[in-house]
Structure 1
């Protein structure tokens, strides 16, 4: 078993652990009602208004932890629980997603870079798995397909790392706003900060997992070259 393969396995286990921890944290903090009684929808609309954003809609989306900001149609999509509930977890998520809307409105450079990568990655994601598979199967005859697959996979890895400052900045904006606006008490602020930290860790592990997988493919490529 190669070191790169071991790293991939470790990353997979770490991802599973953090996902479980994140789910546990959100369930825990969802039991703590906000003293101000505001719902996630109301908090999102208030943060948008405070930042002078009038062209973004706050809508409800199905699922759990499916919250996201869509820059294409300018919508803050909140999962059903976050949209209607009035607790520390909902406040954290709603403000975080509005943090992305603020990034968009202020032309935050890393968000612009990330958004510019999306169209290309949409095409890459459709073909990359097949190219990598073909590259592995053809290693004994040619390394070209695997090399192409590695280049394409490196783009997805870059995207995962570009995502990190975007997510951390959105959380920073969210926490600063809910504190300044008095949306949460000090105890609720600590819960919101903790929930967003665990959410951010999912992106960190995803980026490291992508890097580990990239190194695994590179090790296959280099090993095949030495064998030739």
Structure 2
């Protein structure tokens, strides 16, 4: 077990991923905090903005609910509901309106059967399966003798499903933000200078998805290298 956690591959693949992830988290929190202190001229709350953007984009029957937590905002296609965190639901800040509009962007995708969104939804069950079994199989395979290296590769194959899910998530999230910004602009919910702030908030949020994808890819590469090193000893 020791070589798995303390070897050069950790510093080559995992440390860079951790640095990128930490920077992305810092960026989204600092940007959200900055624009949380600036209210929109129209004084529209996040909940109102989400409802307006969804209707503007043609998504009907969307429910808006409050959810506890910090930046736990999400859209659930199963019940066509946008759930907004405490810092977004009743806030009139640029950050709140931008985040709420982003979730409304997902509702619009759902209403218009956005194809990448369908692919992402289809990958959820296989991703959950791969995520739950992939890494345990890799660890077990690394403990077993080298002749059982196929167990490691099976784990890597399952883990790669989670990486694929992260990559498919990127266009879905970027498209939701594009729809949000377009709706905020064309509907007149935000003025141009406010819109620039919302764009910065959503760009910072997008960095977290890029960081997650980068981290997943780096983890996968590390597992491949570890398996390859063992194979060379066979």
Task: Settle same-fold status: TM greater than 0.5.
Answer: yes
CA contact (8 A) 1:4 1:212 kept: no
1:30 partnered with 2:43: no
1:175 Cα deviation from its structure 2 partner: 0.5
CA distance in 1, matches of 2:146, 2:153: 13
Deviations 1:141-180 (A, max 9, x none): 4102111110001110010000000000000000011011
Q: Secondary structure at the match of 1:143?
A: helix
1:188 Cα deviation from its structure 2 partner: 0.9
Deviations 1:95-140 (A, max 9, x none): 1001011111111110000000111222222222321210221253
Name the residue aligned to 1:39.
45
Indicate which of 91, 96, 100 corresponds to 1:85. Answer: 91
CA distance in 1, matches of 2:61, 2:126: 27
CA contact (8 A) 2:131 2:161 kept: no
Name the residue aligned to 2:4.
none
Name the residue aligned to 1:106.
112
CA distance in 2, matches of 1:226, 1:126: 28
Q: Secondary structure at the match of 1:77?
A: strand
Q: TM-score, normalised by structure 1?
A: 0.96
Name the residue aligned to 1:116.
122
1:82 Cα deviation from its structure 2 partner: 0.4
| 155-164 or 42-51, which deviates more | 42-51
Q: TM-score, normalised by structure 2?
A: 0.93
Q: Runs of at least 4 residues of structure 1 off by over 4 A?
A: none
Name the residue aligned to 2:170.
164
1:63 Cα deviation from its structure 2 partner: 0.3
Number of aligned residue pairs: give it. 228
Assess, with a 3 A threshold, how the Cα gap between structure 1 residues 139 and 105 changes in structure 2: closer, same or farther. farther
CA distance in 1, matches of 2:78, 2:130: 20
CA distance in 2, matches of 1:103, 1:207: 21
CA distance in 2, matches of 1:210, 1:162: 12
Deviations 1:175-220 (A, max 9, x none): 0110111111221111100010010011001101100100000001
CA RMSD of aligned residues (A): 1.3
CA contact (8 A) 2:56 2:187 kept: no
Name the residue aligned to 1:201.
207
Gaps of 5+ in 2: 1-6
CA contact (8 A) 2:57 2:183 kept: no
Q: Secondary structure at the match of 1:133?
A: helix
Q: Secondary structure at the match of 1:69?
A: strand
Indicate which of 129, 148, 156 corresponds to 1:142. Answer: 148
